[in-house]
Structure 1
Amino acid sequence: MTLRTLVQLTTGITLLTCVLAVLGVHAYATGRAQRQALVERLSAAGQIETLGRRRRFAGLDRRLRRTRLGKRLELRLAATGLDVTPGEFFVGMVAAVAGLWLIGQATLAPFFGPIAGLLGIWAAVQFLNWQRQQRIERFIGQLPELARIMANATQAGLALRTAIGMAAEELEAPAGEELAKVANQLAVGISMDAALGELADRLPSRELVVLVTTLVLSHRAGGQVVSALRNLTETLEERKETRREVRTQLSQVNMTSYAVPALGVGSLFLMNGVKDGALERMTESPLGQTAVVVAFGLYTIGFVLIRRLSRIDV
């Protein structure tokens, strides 16, 4: 290989490297512009906070999402509206369980450590259920206004997709956030049936199922969606008042369901306070441990029975 050939080869490789560098910079700039456009779009939909917050435990979160438990936890967190990833919630729950374990073991007796840990898991699950139910209740309270806005929009000649986007802009959370998700799904090509069905799965309620069914049937068959939505608005207003009355009547019963197990746990601290070390001596024998387990089981059964008997489906 002569010197001239070597110079030409070196020059060609250098030019090729420069071309590839220019293409790489162009691809990077294009991707950055697309990401900025996506951020601005999500910002308009009210979701920029989710993108901007720094996520913790990313590795654990990725591994957890691959499991069945992680997928169920992710769906439950999405229904609660909490800005928490499954990994963050799992780490927080483990920390709470460990703390309750140590507290129960130190303040009562070593036998109560695992029981306190199980109570921590139960409390975490109940917290998610409570957050989800609160979000569902707030969403149900906004359904009459949602139906009214969509009826006015469709009466003005707007398409159903446009009416959903308009309702997402005018309504506050949680209805505005949930409808923004539906509007974003429709914008990327997901069908109306799938997007509204996913909304009904996230926030299950009879009122929302009726609204989703009305919209889906009207979208498929092209029926009188305006009159259907106006009739549905009146029905939702009546159900809203009925649910408020039922909830007021059952508030005392619900408080009783939580007071019963609280009295049982309080009696343990009272017993240990009257005579220090009484619980530790009691739980050293198998008979005492069995009595404690049976007592906790009876309190749990009482809590569940009171909640079931006070549940009225409206």
Structure 2
Amino acid sequence: MNIALLLCLLMLLGAVLLLRRSLREARSEQLVERLAEPQTAPQRMKLSRLQRDLLRSGLHMPSWLAVLVLMVWVLAILLALMAGGWLMLLIVLLLLPPVLLRLYMVWQYNRRLQRMISQMPQFLDHVIRSLKSGRTLGDGMLLSMENCQEPLHGAMARTRSAVQRGMPLAEAMEEFAELFEREEFHILAMGVAVNQRYGGNASELLGNLIGMIRDRDRAARQLRALTGETRISALVLGGLPVAMGGYIFLSNPQMLLNMWEQSGGRLVLMVALLMQVIGCYLLWRMMRSIG
């Protein structure tokens, strides 16, 4: 069994190395083909769901680290399969890491997005000062993108690079708004597109956008203050069953183990777990709607 496990790991390592080599050669061929083609305006790149989530959350993982994490995960699955059986394999190693990663990415995206929104008035004010000094809207936007702080600077790095490669500013800003799916960014992208197509007073538009962002932030803070008791109640309702279950397991573990050994008790525990997950999800949606 140990020899078979070692052979599986060696074959996995060889497959990963061959995959990296093929991807590197494919990128080299694409680069050569791109250089041979006539220069045209860059087109939008279609992103996969994972790439989109990584860009939104701002997480960066080198390829070698991703391969290492994948190999450790597969090794842990094989060891769990040999030691603990299919149930621990399915629940602990197949379901838990992806779910935790997804939750962390969602939390990181929401946290990053809130900081970006709070930095938008300063960013737009810098653009307005650039316009009043005689620069065009495109030059003012690029200059503000370079001088803004993180995380807005990192989020707009892809947009700034696209504009410098020749993509129209309106399309680049629209792509940025579609990536982060926020109303403020859509309004900014629409204003840039209208200004570049029909002209107009961009300073007034950006000033109104600054006022709207500050008014929305003020209203959101008041709403969070008024619904603080409701959100705390939701946290208590969601955490109380888990805390009680943990206390019962620590104080009298044989009770739950005896239930798990019986078919009826196992069904009750699985139904309780399912209802707890559904209840936490509904409470989270309610908190999100008022937060």
TM-score where L is the length of structure 2: 0.71
Unaligned runs of 5+ in 2: 1-15, 27-46
Inter-partner Cα distance in structure 1 for 2:144 and 2:275: 48
Q: Does 1:287 find its partner at 2:267?
A: no
Taking the TM superposition and a 5 Å limit, the aligned residue runs for 1:50-89 are: 71-85=48-62, 88=65
Displacement of 1:222:
1.4
Inter-partner Cα distance in structure 2 for 1:138 and 1:268: 37
Alignment counterpart, residue 217 of structure 1, candidates 186, 190, 194: 194
3-state secondary structure, aligned to 1:172: coil
Inter-partner Cα distance in structure 1 for 2:279 and 2:189: 37
Aligned length: 249
In 2, are the aligned partners of 1:61 and 1:88 still within 8 Å (CA)? Answer: no
Inter-partner Cα distance in structure 2 for 1:218 and 1:188: 21
Alignment counterpart, residue 183 of structure 1, candidates 157, 160, 164: 160
- Going from structure 1 to structure 2, the CA distance change for 1:88 and 1:292 (only over 3 Å counts) comes to farther
Taking the TM superposition and a 5 Å limit, the aligned residue runs for 1:166-177 are: 166-177=143-154
Inter-partner Cα distance in structure 2 for 1:63 and 1:293: 44
Inter-partner Cα distance in structure 1 for 2:88 and 2:50: 27
Q: Which residue number in structure 2 is paired with residue 10 of structure 1?
A: none
Q: Does 1:122 find its partner at 2:99?
A: yes
Displacement of 1:87:
7.8
Inter-partner Cα distance in structure 1 for 2:231 and 2:275: 18
3-state secondary structure, aligned to 2:154: helix
Q: Which residue number in structure 1 is paired with residue 8 of structure 2?
A: none
In 2, are the aligned partners of 1:80 and 1:131 still within 8 Å (CA)? Answer: yes
In 1, are the aligned partners of 2:238 and 2:283 still within 8 Å (CA)? Answer: no
Inter-partner Cα distance in structure 2 for 1:112 and 1:252: 38
In 2, are the aligned partners of 1:138 and 1:174 still within 8 Å (CA)? Answer: yes
Alignment counterpart, residue 171 of structure 2, candidates 189, 194, 206: 194
3-state secondary structure, aligned to 1:312: helix
TM-score where L is the length of structure 1: 0.66
Alignment counterpart, residue 137 of structure 1, candidates 114, 134, 145: 114
Q: Which residue number in structure 2 is paired with residue 275 of structure 1?
A: 252
Q: Which residue number in structure 1 is paired with residue 34 of structure 2?
A: none
Inter-partner Cα distance in structure 2 for 1:201 and 1:220: 20
What letter is aligned with 1:161?
A: G
Inter-partner Cα distance in structure 2 for 1:62 and 1:261: 48
Taking the TM superposition and a 5 Å limit, the aligned residue runs for 1:7-86 are: 71-85=48-62
3-state secondary structure, aligned to 1:186: helix
- Computing the radius of gyration over CA atoms, which structure comes out larger, 1 or 2? 1
What letter is aligned with 1:305?
A: L
Displacement of 1:86:
7.6
Q: Does 1:242 find its partner at 2:203?
A: no
Inter-partner Cα distance in structure 2 for 1:247 and 1:98: 43
Which moved further from structure 2: 129-138 or 304-313? 304-313
In 2, are the aligned partners of 1:161 and 1:183 still within 8 Å (CA)? Answer: no
Q: Deviations over 1:161-182 (max 9, x none)?
A: 2112211232101112223322
Inter-partner Cα distance in structure 1 for 2:239 and 2:76: 21
Q: Does 1:147 find its partner at 2:124?
A: yes
In 2, are the aligned partners of 1:80 and 1:132 still within 8 Å (CA)? Answer: yes
Q: Deviations over 1:117-158 (max 9, x none)?
A: 434432221110000011110111111112211122123221
What letter is aligned with 1:184?
A: S
Q: Does 1:301 find its partner at 2:278?
A: yes
What letter is aligned with 1:172?
A: Q
In 2, are the aligned partners of 1:143 and 1:208 still within 8 Å (CA)? Answer: no
Q: Does 1:157 find its partner at 2:134?
A: yes
Q: Does 1:310 find its partner at 2:287?
A: yes
In 1, are the aligned partners of 2:178 and 2:186 still within 8 Å (CA)? Answer: no
Q: Deviations over 1:42-62 (max 9, x none)?
A: xxxxxxxxxxxxxxx887779
Q: Deviations over 1:197-226 (max 9, x none)?
A: 221122221112111211121122112211
Which moved further from structure 2: 241-250 or 151-160? 241-250
Displacement of 1:80:
0.9
The structure 1 segments of at least 4 consecutive aligned residues displaced by more than 6 Å after TM superposition are: 57-64
- Going from structure 1 to structure 2, the CA distance change for 1:188 and 1:313 (only over 3 Å counts) comes to farther
What letter is aligned with 2:273?
A: F
